Homo-oligomer: A and B are copies of this chain.
Amino acid sequence: MDGGADGLGADGLGALRDALGERLVIDPELIAPYARDSSRAVADGAPRALVLAETTADVSAALAWAHAARVPVSVRGAGTGLTGGAMAYAGGIIVSLERMSRILEIDSANRIAVVQPGVITGELDDACREQGLFFPPDPASARLCTVGGNIATNAGGLRCVAHGVTSDSVAGLEVVLADGRVMRTGARTRKNAVGYDLTSLFVGSEGTLGVVTEATVRLKPVREGLPRTFRASFDRLEDAGRAVTAIVGGPAQVEVLELMDALSVEIIESFRPSGLVVPAGAMLVGQTVGADAETAAGIVTAICAAHGATDTEISESDALLEARRLSNPALNARGLKISCDVGVPVARLAEMFHGVAEISARHGLRVSTVAHAGDGNLHSTVESPDDAPGIRAADAVIDDITRLALSLDGTISGEHGIGSVKRHELPWQLDDTALAVQQAIKDALDPRGILTPGRAI
A interface residues (Cβ-Cβ under 8 A, vs B): 107-112, 153-156, 160-161, 164-165, 167-168, 177, 181-185, 187-198, 200-201, 203-205, 209, 221, 224, 245, 249, 251, 341, 343-348, 372, 375-377, 409-418, 426, 429-431, 433-434, 436-438, 440-441, 443-445, 456-457
Contact = CB atoms under 8 A, between A and B. Distances in A.
Given A109-B347, A110-B346, A191-B160, A196 B441 contact: yes
A437 B347 CA distance: 40
Contact of A196 (B109, B224, B457): B457
A189 B377 contact: yes
B187 A410 contact: yes
B160 A343 contact: no
A444 to B, nearest CB: 4
A189 B245 contact: no
Given A195-B438, A345-B112, A345-B189, A201 B204 contact: no
Nearest to A192: B411
Contacts of A341: 193
Contacts of A203: 197
A161 B196 CA distance: 22
Copies in the complex: 2
Contact of A418 (B112, B189, B194): B194
Given A189-B343, A346-B110, A457-B196, A440 B444 contact: yes
B196 A438 contact: yes
Nearest to A246: B109
A184 to B, nearest CB: 6
Given A189-B377, A191-B411, A193-B416, 5 more contacts: A167-B197, A183-B433, A189-B414, A194-B412, A198-B434
Contacts of A251: 224
A137 to B, nearest CB: 11
16 contacts: A107-B345, A156-B193, A160-B190, A189-B345, A189-B376, A190-B414, A191-B411, A191-B414, A191-B415, A192-B413, A194-B411, A194-B413, A194-B430, A195-B204, A195-B457, A443-B444
A204 B198 contact: no
A177 B249 contact: no
A24 B404 CA distance: 43
A456 B197 CA distance: 12
Contact of A193 (B195, B196, B204, B346): B204
Given A197-B200, A414-B192, A184 B109 contact: no
Contacts of A177: 433, 437
A155 B182 CA distance: 29
Nearest to A109: B347
A391 to B, nearest CB: 22
Contacts of A347: 107, 109-110
Nearest to A205: B196
A434 B192 contact: no
A343 B187 contact: yes
Given A156-B191, A191-B411, A167 B200 contact: yes
Given A193-B413, A201-B200, A413-B194, A434 B156 contact: no
Contact of A109 (B192, B245, B372): B245
Contact of A200 (B200, B221, B249, B430): B200
A346 B344 CA distance: 37
Contacts of A201: 196-197, 200-201, 441
Nearest to A345: B110
B410 A189 contact: yes
A434 B456 CA distance: 23
Contacts of A156: 191, 193
Given A187-B410, A375-B191, A440 B445 contact: yes
Given A251-B224, A344-B189, A430 B110 contact: no
A194 to B, nearest CB: 5
A441 to B, nearest CB: 6
Contacts of A245: 109
A181 B109 contact: no
A251 B183 CA distance: 37
Contact of A376 (B181, B190, B416, B417): B190
Nearest to A423: B195
A454 B443 CA distance: 23
